[in-house]
């Protein structure tokens, strides 16, 4: 089999510190932080010379990661953070949580806002979407017994 795993999901932000604090509150751990720059990095992204500050966040199980990026150069050219849930392209990241109400309460202290309602799907899940720092769309799912 050629595919081994999904390595990470990348999210571009304006404030790395705010995003790190939010995802830490969610339960992720900062795995590392660095500035990546030079022509070699731009060859991967197609942006030419770039300078990007990144932070790698990891889930408690160690299997999933978010790469948070703050572009210093070149400047950001588009903003999709306020796209509705039916917009084309990448949209959100969904996290499984143990206690949805408790997680929501904690994240609200970091500015999270509920998009719609917390809903229950049959006897399986409680789900919701929130807008996190900088309007990022995040899904939360609590699996029921």
- Asked if residue 66 belongs to a domain, the reply is yes
Asked whether the bond before 67 is cis by omega within 30 degrees of 0, the reply is no
Q: Range of 117's domain?
A: 93-143
Question: At residue 89, does pLDDT exceed 90?
Answer: no
Question: What per-residue confidence (pLDDT) applies to 40?
Answer: 85
Statement to judge: residues 68 and 20 lie in one domain = yes
- Asked if residue 88 belongs to a domain, the reply is no
Statement to judge: residues 52 and 98 lie in one domain = no
pLDDT digits (tens, 9 = 90+) for 19-53: 999 999 999 999 999 999 988 888 888 888 899 99
Statement to judge: residues 56 and 98 lie in one domain = no
Query: Which residues partner with 96 through β-bridges?
Result: 141
Statement to judge: residues 105 and 64 lie in one domain = no
Question: What per-residue confidence (pLDDT) applies to 126?
Answer: 97
- Asked if residue 82 belongs to a domain, the reply is no
pLDDT digits (tens, 9 = 90+) for 108-137: 999 999 999 999 999 999 999 999 999 999
- Asked if residue 121 belongs to a domain, the reply is yes
Question: What per-residue confidence (pLDDT) applies to 102?
Answer: 96
- Asked if residue 68 belongs to a domain, the reply is yes
Q: Tokens 């999709």 appear where?
A: 80
Confidence of residue 85 (pLDDT cuts 50, 70, 90): confident
Question: What per-residue confidence (pLDDT) applies to 82?
Answer: 80
Question: What per-residue confidence (pLDDT) applies to 104?
Answer: 96
Statement to judge: residues 15 and 67 lie in one domain = yes
For the chain, what is the domain count? 2
Output the domain CATH number for residue 16: 3.10.180.10
Of the two residues 139 and 88, the one the predictor is more confident about is 139
Question: What per-residue confidence (pLDDT) applies to 9?
Answer: 93
Residue where a domain stops, chosen among 22, 40, 73 = 73
Give the Cα separation of 89 and 134 in Å (integer): 18
Give the Cα separation of 38 and 12 in Å (integer): 18
- Asked if residue 119 belongs to a domain, the reply is yes
Mean pLDDT of the chain: 92
Statement to judge: residues 31 and 68 lie in one domain = yes
Cβ proximity of 70 and 17 under 8 Å = no
């Amino acid at each position: 089999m050629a595919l081994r795993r999904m390595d990470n999901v990348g999210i571009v932000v304006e404030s790395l510190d705010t995003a790190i604090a939010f995802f830490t509150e969610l339960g992720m751990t900062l795995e590392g932080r660095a500035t990546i720059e030079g022509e070699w990095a731009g060859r991967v992204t197609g942006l030419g010379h770039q300078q990007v500050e990144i932070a790698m966040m990891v889930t408690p199980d160690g299997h999933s990661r978010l790469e948070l990026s703050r572009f210093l150069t070149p400047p950001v050219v588009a903003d999709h953070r306020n796209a509705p849930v039916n917009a084309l392209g990448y949209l959100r990241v969904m996290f499984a949580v143990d206690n949805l109400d408790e997680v929501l309460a904690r994240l609200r202290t970091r500015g999270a806002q509920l998009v719609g309602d917390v809903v229950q799907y049959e006897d399986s899940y409680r789900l919701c979407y929130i807008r996190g720092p900088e309007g990022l769309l995040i899904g939360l799912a609590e699996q029921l017994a």
